[in-house]
Amino acid sequence: MGRNYSDLLEKSLDGSRLELLHLLAYQASLLRMPLYLVGGVVRDILLGRPVKDFDLVVEGDSAAFAEYIVEKFGGRVLIHSKFRTATWVLNETTFKRLDIPSFQLLDTPLSFDLISARTETYTQPGALPTVKRSTIADDLRRRDFTINAMAFRLDGEHFGEIFDPLDGQKDLENRLIRVLQERSFVDDPTRMFRAIRYAVRYGFEIAPETLSLINEEARGVLSQLSGERLRHEFDLMFEEEKTSVMLESVKELDLLNSIHPALLIADSQQLTAFVDKPEQKFGEFIVPDILSFKQTLGWVLYLLNVSGDGIEDIAKQLAFPTLLTKAARGAAVLNKDFAAFKDWKPSQWTFYLDEIPALAVFAVYLVQKEQALRDYLTTWRNVKPFATGYTLQQRGLEPGPKFGEILHRLRAAWLDGDVKSEEEEKLLLDRLVK
């Protein structure tokens, strides 16, 4: 039996979450089903860091457990795969039965994942593993690093007992990221990125034995992964605070070449433009939220110095969504060419920038601090003449290419300050119609 951390657990989890956890723990003990809090949450509680979401593992049939909970407390149960991973979705009935006041609902999770302890075996490097239900000890052994392979037992009198068969606490104390077995990176090369992410996030070192396993064989398996899986690892880094340091480390450990050589030109330093204090810089611009904002902006900045062809290659290799490819390309071209546009009039800037996603313009602004880009984002792109196609029709013009040309001229006049009122616009329109 490991040390008991119930006090720390109580302190680290907030009101209604803790209450629900106690409830699950009590029910599990009635069923004599060992229930554990596992993975990242245990690590973060021991480190005294804020807890986001958490994973619960039962030794036994998690779906049967979830169904039992629903019978008693309402809600719904969703059973996922053939391994009977279950989600308990709470609803109004649940909250009433548990007597949780409505003001607490906001910080209450609306669902809990309940997972059966399982083993995983890798039949082929880089492929997804074969899974079988098993014990908590096996479940911890299938994990990536010792610091992610600890569990707090929750059921009954065991509440708060740590289960740490792989010495995660020791590595946590010594600030080390260590894999659980020699083939770890070959089985799943995404773990090389995960190692870097945790090391940089917590200011830990990758243990020397683990570092030596980031070798040619493991790197070689990277190219067998799907584009989505690889891209996801970068996306996770773009969500972090020290992204540029992580990407530097990815480069130093030579992980980029196996994905695509064009990535070697990518420049993580561009990311410091927004990683530092993103919220301060985004407030004044309204940039459409294409895909997930931070990830997209991360990619666009990272690839700013890569050539158009290079970006196309990377996009193919990492299965970029079309919008992302367009934004990355638009930004790279603008970043390369914009010095030549210095003397342009606002209308020239605007008609050029209208063809590029706003987020790409924003990215280049973050790096270059060019005033015209800022004016475009905050003002110019929204400038429109009063006249519309309908106005022109009323003036007796036939719809056709002339329409676009006239409206274009009117907008340019507003942008360049040649027209400053509706009256002046009308006078200009009179001239253009003639």
Which residue from 126, 147, 151 is spatially nearest to 138, judged by alpha carbons? 151
| 3-state SS, one letter per residue, for 223-279 | CCCCHHHHHHHHHHHHCCCCHHHHHHHHHHCCCCCCCCHHHHHCCHHHHHHHHCCHH
Applying CB under 6 A, which of residues 191, 219, 260, 411 lies at the interface with ligand ATP? Answer: 191
**Smallest separation, CB 245 to ligand ATP (Å):** 16
The footprint of ligand ATP on this chain (CB under 6 A) covers a number of residues equal to 10
Q: Which stretch binds ligand ATP (CB under 6 A): 99-107, 141-149, 338-346, 413-421?
A: 141-149
How many angstroms separate the first and last alpha carbons of the chain? Answer: 92
**Smallest separation, CB 188 to ligand ATP (Å):** 5
Residue 185 and residue 222 in contact, taking contact as beta carbons nearer than 8 Å = no
Mask for 316-355, x = binds ligand ATP (CB under 6 A): ----------------------------------------
Applying CB under 6 A, which of residues 18, 23, 40, 313 lies at the interface with ligand ATP? Answer: 40
Applying CB under 6 A, which of residues 17, 118, 143, 329 lies at the interface with ligand ATP? Answer: 143
DSSP states of 62-99: HHHHHHHHHHHH--EEEE-STT--EEEE--HHHHHHHT
**Smallest separation, CB 98 to ligand ATP (Å):** 26
Tokens in use for 283? 């407030």
CB atoms within 10 A of CB 15: 11
DSSP states of 338-354: GGGGTT--HHHHHHHHT
Residue 356 and residue 323 in contact, taking contact as beta carbons nearer than 8 Å = no
Mask for 145-174, x = binds ligand ATP (CB under 6 A): ---xx-------------------------
**Smallest separation, CB 183 to ligand ATP (Å):** 12
| Helices within 369-421 (DSSP H only) | 371-378, 389-394, 401-415
Residue holding tokens 């894999």?
A: 179
**Smallest separation, CB 140 to ligand ATP (Å):** 8
Nearer to ligand ATP, 32 or 170 (CB): 170
Which residues neighbour 304 within 8 Å (Cβ) at sequence distance 6 or greater? 267, 270, 331, 332, 335, 363, 364, 367
Using DSSP's 3-state secondary structure scheme, residue 206 falls into: strand
By the rule CB under 6 A, 210 interacts with ligand ATP: no
Applying CB under 6 A, which of residues 85, 190, 295, 325 lies at the interface with ligand ATP? Answer: 190
Applying CB under 6 A, which of residues 13, 28, 34, 39 lies at the interface with ligand ATP? Answer: 39
Applying CB under 6 A, which of residues 59, 113, 139, 144 lies at the interface with ligand ATP? Answer: 144
Nearer to ligand ATP, 188 or 370 (CB): 188
Nearer to ligand ATP, 144 or 235 (CB): 144
Contact residues for ligand ATP (CB under 6 A)?
39-40, 55, 143-144, 148-149, 188, 190-191
